[in-house]
């Protein structure tokens, strides 16, 4: 799904060192490409989609080259500035390996996007929700965010920007998906706790909460749902493209958002309005 209207005008992020988890597909990949277009150096963390991750790295490099008036000659470090590392981010050992890569490639971080997560398209009423399903959701959606955010903060020695991915489910709940909504609600509280804690270190912490987004993860649900009913609940009348969510992520990583912290930025076409 392409964006309507003119191309997005991006803030300058020249040389910023940014790590994006879940960056091989969907919202994460869209953010990686926009960050490359804005001049950032980007590391991608992913779980197992090796081909998608490799393609995302190549696309990011291409976006960086296209941005430079001198092409490849003006981007001597392009190949090293975009890379991908596989791992299960709910495991401390995999997170340690990921950040060893960060140290080798970047020597620190200026920005972190905690995007890795899962969602189960199948309804799970509470009386049928297995403890194993609950535990997996919390490990992937919450424990991984704790482990990676902690490691990212330890490498932000000159301030930084943290953006975590939440959901409309965190704002209003989601019947038959209580484990997912609970994990994302915890992200909101985590964000609001870290903002005053890290503010004195010039680190901002915000969350982006999408509604329906046209991604691989949402495709099964969108395919099985009544699309007219979904669109009827979105005042803008469309399901978001991944780029619609990536844009606010890039904004929050930029100096344009330097005085914005502890906020949950809702990107849902008006379907959930929070004061």
Token pair, residue 176, equals: 């038959």
**Count, residues in the chain:** 275
Beta carbons of 31 and 275 less than 8 angstroms apart: no
**The one catalytic residue among 106, 112, 180, 212:** 180
CA torsion sign, 42 to 86 to 122 to 128? negative
Buried b (16+ CB within 10 A) or exposed e, 20-50: bbbbbbbbbbbbbbbbbbbbbbbbbbbbebe
- Cα-Cα-Cα-Cα torsion 104, 106, 107, 108, nearest 10 degrees, comes to -130
Is 180 marked active-site?
yes
Beta carbons of 180 and 169 less than 8 angstroms apart: yes
Task: Enumerate the active-site residues.
Answer: 180
């Amino acid at each position: 799904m392409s964006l309507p209207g003119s191309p997005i005008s991006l803030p300058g992020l020249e040389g910023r060192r940014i790590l994006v988890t879940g960056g091989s597909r969907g919202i994460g990949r869209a953010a990686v490409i926009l960050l490359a277009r804005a001049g950032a150096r980007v590391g991608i963390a992913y779980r197992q989609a090796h081909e998608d991750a490799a393609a995302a790295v190549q696309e990011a490099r291409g976006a960086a080259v296209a941005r430079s008036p001198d092409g490849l000659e003006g981007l001597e470090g392009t190949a090293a500035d975009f890379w991908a590392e596989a791992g299960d981010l709910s495991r401390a050992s995999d997170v340690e390996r990921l950040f060893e890569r960060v140290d080798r490639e970047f020597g620190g971080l200026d920005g972190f996007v905690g995007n890795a997560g899962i969602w189960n398209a199948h309804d799970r009423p509470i009386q049928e929700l297995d403890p194993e399903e609950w535990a997996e959701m919390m490990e992937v959606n919450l424990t991984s965010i704790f482990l990676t955010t902690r490691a990212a903060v330890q490498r932000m020695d000159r301030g930084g920007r943290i953006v975590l991915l939440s959901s409309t489910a965190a704002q209003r709940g989601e019947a038959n998906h209580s484990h997912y909504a609970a994990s994302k609600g915890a992200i909101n509280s985590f964000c609001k706790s870290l903002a005053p804690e890290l503010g004195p270190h010039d680190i901002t912490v915000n969350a982006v909460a999408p509604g329906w987004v046209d991604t691989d993860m949402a495709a099964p649900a969108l395919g099985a749902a009544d699309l007219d009913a979904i669109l009827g609940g979105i005042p803008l009348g469309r399901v978001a493209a991944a780029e619609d969510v990536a844009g606010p992520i890039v904004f929050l990583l930029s100096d344009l958002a330097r005085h914005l912290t502890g906020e949950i930025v809702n990107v849902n076409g008006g379907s959930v309005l929070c004061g």
